[in-house]
Amino acid sequence: MLSPQWLDELRARVTLSSVIGRTTRLTKAGHEFKACCPFHNEKSPSFYVNDQKGFYHCFGCGAHGDVIRWMTDQRGLAFMDAVKELAAEAGMEVPAPDPRAAERAEKQAGLHDVLAAAQGWYRAQLDTPEGARARDYLASRRFDAHTMERFGFGFAPGGRQALKSALKQFDETMLVEAGLRIAVDDKEPYDRFRDRLTMPIHDARGRVIGFAARILDAEKKDAPKYINSPDTPLFDKGRTLFNLHRAAPASRQSGRVVVVEGQMDVIALAAAGIGEAVAPMGTALTERQLEMLWRMVETPILCFDGDTAGQRAAMRAAARALPMLRPAHSLRIVRLPAGMDPDDLIKRDGVGALEALLAKPIGLLDLIWEHERDAAPLTSPEDKAGLKARLMAHVETIADRDIQALYRRDLTERFSAFAFPRREERAWQPPRRGAAPVAQRDPQQTTRLRRATGSGARDALSAAILAGLLRHPGELARHADALAHSPMRDPRFAVLVDAADSDEPLESAALLTILAERGMAPPAPEEYASLRFGFLSDAAPVEAARADLAQAIALLVERPALDAALAEATARFERDLSEGAYAEQQRLLKRKLAFDARLRQMASARAAASDDAAPIE
């Protein structure tokens, strides 16, 4: 008997498209291949091959399988002959027969027979008089006949020995091992499912491997609402997704998988036309279940109930997913209205309301940010520090270093914007035509104008250079070309550059008048108080002042280009996360730091320590 691990290794080593392409003409279609289906006659291609996920599927006839299934179904080989041929191609040795593995396989085959017989019996009991309450419950859920038949609803009678009496052909030990009967010490075993609505649980191949059962007697408040089969040789709740065998082919048509909390939610969605829904088996999503979901789509959608328990379930899934994140693979989350599950929403507002929510899920990062932000009051610095610590604790669990760095950056920026919000700023607006000159306005209006102009520049270097040009107007013509071709945010630069092109004499008083006529004020000393350039001091020699001003203008012209290059390099690094992009971003970042250091050194070394810049008159 071949182990599942060995067979998975064989499938991974053989390229599915290359095997199918030997007998079927394939055409590249995005990340997949397409062809006219070899299993039925058709004129337009509906047969698709996906190497990444290792399966083929026909949307016309439903043919589906992996590379081994292709060899058996299309080539007509026996299973072991198919395996041996593929193993020879992959350079793998077929393991020698293992008697214990063969015994386990025989036992599992027997358990499949037991569970199939149990499903048939449960299904028949639904139509008996004793099954009336189960039928009434299904009618209250408004499931149509097709849905009830497709999901195989049944009924487990209340007798403790009813199933055993019905399945006399199987030994007691097999019934217990299949999870259908409970054996406790030396007491007589009894039926696990009694007086409950039953639903079969299938594996990926559509075989019954267990059951879920819902209570029907509302007065039994001490009994669990739902129970599932225990772990058995066939059923492992952490490795099983309810409805996977139906959702997998449906997901290939819709391009999505919807994860809900319970089996009834899955069935309600299927009844409403959303067939790509699955549910974990009464526990939080496990790592194995996440891998199963990622084999179907890269970003499954979690659609949990809108109550507190549902939100906790979403966060538990997020915590499981974070260490496993890899490029392009994540989770998306839909938030249902408070107190509602998917079935409630569909019944109240129709399936269109749910589809609208599924079309606009939030990302995993958004879920973490919003959950931790709203988890506790944030009224003190200590509270905010706690928020940041919780966010970074999530980030540290991410194994992929590139994804971890991007999460850290995004969450840090969100935290900074939340904890230290910027004050609202007003952008500079040009004066209305016919507005009074600055000198004729009231003092409060002049103050408002200065604030608006300052917020338009918000840059001490720009303000200092403007003040320097007003002090040394003869330098304006010399630097007008450089200033004209630079993206200066302060509109006063454009006014001065235009003045340099006119025939008017360039004197300080004339420039101040031009600014005033445009409704603009000269830079106030507080705008550039942090920089003490020599050209702002009356005591500085003229030649030295001119040299300082030229250097400052060179820095001002260089900075926008440097900032733009740094922003572009950072965006490129975020896109492809390559070493080259990272190196370029770091090189430009060092240039930016060196620029700032040069500016500080120039402003402090050239300024006269005893002189303060005087306001421009």
> What is the H or E stretch that residue 334 is in?
strand 332-335
Give the CA dihedral 362, 364, 367, 370, nearest 10 degrees: -100
Statement to judge: residues 220 and 252 lie in one domain? no
User: Does residue 472 or residue 576 have the better pLDDT?
Assistant: 472
CA 448 to chain CA mean position, Å: 45
Mean pLDDT of 547-557: 77
Position 487 confidence tier, pLDDT thresholds 50, 70, 90: low
**pLDDT at 106 exceeding the cut of 90:** no
Statement to judge: residues 360 and 241 lie in one domain? yes
Statement to judge: residues 363 and 460 lie in one domain? no
Q: Which of 56-65, 186-195, 442-451, 459-468 has the highest mean pLDDT?
A: 186-195
Statement to judge: residues 61 and 122 lie in one domain? no
Of 95-104, 128-137, 412-421, give the lowest mean pLDDT range. Answer: 95-104
Nearest to 206 by CA among 68, 343, 78, 62: 62
> What is the H or E stretch that residue 182 is in?
strand 181-182
Statement to judge: residues 145 and 251 lie in one domain? no
Position 189 confidence tier, pLDDT thresholds 50, 70, 90: very high
Statement to judge: residues 103 and 211 lie in one domain? yes
Handedness of CA 238, 244, 247, 253 (dihedral sign): positive
DSSP codes joined into one string, 85-120 = HHHHHHT-PPPPP-HHHHHHHHHHHHHHHHHHHHHH
Position 610 confidence tier, pLDDT thresholds 50, 70, 90: very low
**pLDDT at 412 exceeding the cut of 60:** yes
Fill in the DSSP letter of residue 2: -
In a domain, 166, yes or no: yes
Statement to judge: residues 473 and 535 lie in one domain? yes
**pLDDT at 193 exceeding the cut of 60:** yes
Statement to judge: residues 209 and 258 lie in one domain? no
Mean pLDDT of 594-614: 56
Mean pLDDT of 64-69: 90
Statement to judge: residues 459 and 494 lie in one domain? yes
Report the pLDDT value the prediction gives residue 278, as an integer from 0 to 100: 96
- Residue ending a domain, choose from 207, 235, 263: 235
Report the pLDDT value the prediction gives residue 208, as an integer from 0 to 100: 94
User: Does residue 516 or residue 271 have the better pLDDT?
Assistant: 271
Asked if 616 and 508 touch (Cβ cutoff 8 Å), the reply is yes
In a domain, 617, yes or no: no
**pLDDT at 266 exceeding the cut of 90:** yes
Half-sphere exposure of 249 (CA within 13 A, CB side): 17
Per-residue burial over 27-36, b = 16 or more CB atoms within 10 Å of its CB, e = otherwise:
eeeeebbbbb
Report the percent of the chain where pLDDT is more than 70.
83
Statement to judge: residues 168 and 289 lie in one domain? no
In a domain, 241, yes or no: yes
In a domain, 576, yes or no: yes
CATH no. for residue 32?
Answer: 3.90.580.10
User: Does residue 450 or residue 195 have the better pLDDT?
Assistant: 195
Nearest to 122 by CA among 165, 152, 150: 152
Structure tokens that stand for 394 in this block: 């999530």
**pLDDT at 518 exceeding the cut of 90:** no
- Residue ending a domain, choose from 66, 90, 114: 90
Report the pLDDT value the prediction gives residue 209, as an integer from 0 to 100: 94
Report the pLDDT value the prediction gives residue 1, as an integer from 0 to 100: 65
Q: Counting Cβ atoms within 10 Å, is residue 607 exposed (0-12), middle (13-18) or buried (19+)?
A: buried
**pLDDT at 115 exceeding the cut of 90:** yes
DSSP helix/strand/coil, 333: strand
In a domain, 28, yes or no: yes
Of 60-69, 308-317, 585-594, give the lowest mean pLDDT range. Answer: 585-594
Cα–Cα distance between 303 and 266 in angstroms, integer? Answer: 11
Mean pLDDT of the chain: 82
Domains identified in the chain, total number: 4
Residue partners of 312: CB distance under 8 A and separation at least 6? none
- Angstrom distances, CA of residue 15 to CA of 18, 35, 59, 216, 235: 6, 17, 21, 50, 30
Report the pLDDT value the prediction gives residue 136, as an integer from 0 to 100: 92
Asked if 235 and 210 touch (Cβ cutoff 8 Å), the reply is yes
Mean pLDDT of 416-442: 52
- Residue ending a domain, choose from 209, 235, 261: 235
In a domain, 275, yes or no: yes
Three-state SS for 28-81 is EECCEEEECCCCCCCCCCCEEEECCCCEEEECCCCCEECHHHHHHHCCCCCHHH
CA 337 to chain CA mean position, Å: 21
Position 549 confidence tier, pLDDT thresholds 50, 70, 90: confident
pLDDT in tens, 524-534: 877 777 666 77
**pLDDT at 447 exceeding the cut of 70:** no
Mean pLDDT of 226-251: 91
Cα–Cα distance between 288 and 202 in angstroms, integer? Answer: 17
In a domain, 429, yes or no: no
In a domain, 407, yes or no: yes
Report the pLDDT value the prediction gives residue 433, as an integer from 0 to 100: 44
User: Does residue 23 or residue 500 have the better pLDDT?
Assistant: 23
Position 379 confidence tier, pLDDT thresholds 50, 70, 90: confident
Q: Which domain holds residue 259?
A: 237-421
pLDDT in tens, 283-340: 789 999 999 899 888 999 999 887 788 888 899 999 999 999 999 899 999 989 888 8
User: Does residue 314 or residue 596 have the better pLDDT?
Assistant: 314
Position 613 confidence tier, pLDDT thresholds 50, 70, 90: very low
Statement to judge: residues 326 and 408 lie in one domain? yes
DSSP helix/strand/coil, 151: helix
- Packing angle of the helix pair 364-373, 381-396 (nearest 10 deg): 150
Position 611 confidence tier, pLDDT thresholds 50, 70, 90: very low
CATH no. for residue 393?
Answer: 3.40.1360.10
Centre a 10 Å sphere on the Cβ of residue 401 and count the other Cβ atoms it contains.
9
Statement to judge: residues 13 and 148 lie in one domain? no
Report the percent of the chain where pLDDT is more than 90.
37
What is the pTM for the complete model shown? 0.57
Q: In the chain, count H helices and then E strands.
A: 25, 16
Spell out the long-range contacts of 434-442 with Cβ–Cβ below 8 A and sequence spacing 24 or more.
Answer: 435/519, 437/516, 437/517, 437/519, 438/516, 438/519, 438/520, 438/521, 439/516
